[in-house]
Structure 1
């Protein structure tokens, strides 16, 4: 009797239906969880990510602790400074120490600032605040 239910075609069908339901659920999440950003702002964030990639910022800088080690982690750079946009624009346009000055257009700068603002709002980056777990994940250390 048990052999009747453990047929390979039925197992495949059940797994396929589960996969299909999960896929639909994953793609439906944005429709049920509205974002605080407008479509224009989301477009600017996406363009900013492309600017980040175009100028290879990730080779020297980190986001969320991932990336190069030559420059500082920029995950929370937007909220670290008082006059954040002017400060970030000045650093990018003039360069400092080992960072070259970039000739970046105003549209690219606006998109990059939106990207950095979005990254800043989504997490923290100080690796010293996180403790590695035995299972390969990290937990936030309470101070």
Structure 2
């Protein structure tokens, strides 16, 4: 079954920008083998990752992600079936968020801003809302 999984975590202070490059490199190397795609948003203290692929592969991948020492307080905030991939050719895309406040370079509704701040707090969200919001960061 094709599924999506979104998690948020706290980036450890020891996780440098070079470590972010290592994460991206590992995703680009390993994700094609399990047909996982998605996006990673990060700031100086948070990660939000949207993954899509086979549901069993995603859960296995998430188990590995939870063990990664570069972050802590890993919380799944959305998981469920999808009909098709939103990022079919992106084995992992990344985007850095502003260090102090999220700067929206596109029109975003007050409701979407609220949802995004809830994501940052690790609060459960509906998968389609999360996907719609994350897509705006990559337009």
What TM-score does the superposition give when structure 2 sets the normalisation length? 0.28
> More helix per residue: 1 or 2?
1
Rg (Cα) greater in structure: 1
- Point out which structure has higher relative CO (alpha carbons under 8 A, 6+ apart): 2
The TM-score, its normalising length taken from structure 1, stands at 0.28
